[in-house]
Structure 1
């Protein structure tokens, strides 16, 4: 697995976790998940 694939998978897992936190009304958990996604977003952004 390449770094890009790993970051894509991490983004996918964080999105799923955020959705589940939202379904369960776990607001603070959702905030932390969003913070994690924002931290890796610049690294995971596609390069052209």
Structure 2
């Protein structure tokens, strides 16, 4: 029982950390995709 009490928070923390890393990677890729869609010269 004590093992579960220790393991559950560790697993939850690992899942949250992995989710944040994946989310950052996804947003960076989406930003790069948006930059490629944008016209390369400023519209001024």
TM-score range for the pair, normalised by the shorter chain length: 0.5 to 0.7
Please give the residue correspondences for 1:23-38 in structure 2 after superposition, counting only pairs within 5 Å. Answer: 23-25=32-34
Give ranges in structure 1 of 5+ residues lacking alignment.
27-48
| Off by >4 Å, runs of 4+ in structure 1 | none
Counterpart among 3, 17, 23 of residue 26 in structure 2 = 17
Structure whose CA Rg is larger: 2
Tell me by how many angstroms 1:17 deviates. 0.1
Give ranges in structure 2 of 5+ residues lacking alignment.
1-9, 36-44
Count residues with an aligned counterpart: 26
Tell me by how many angstroms 1:2 deviates. 0.4
Q: Higher relative contact order at CA 8 Å, sep ≥6: structure 1 or structure 2? A: 1
Task: Compute the TM-score of the two structures, normalised by the length of structure 1.
Answer: 0.50
Aligned to 1:7: 16
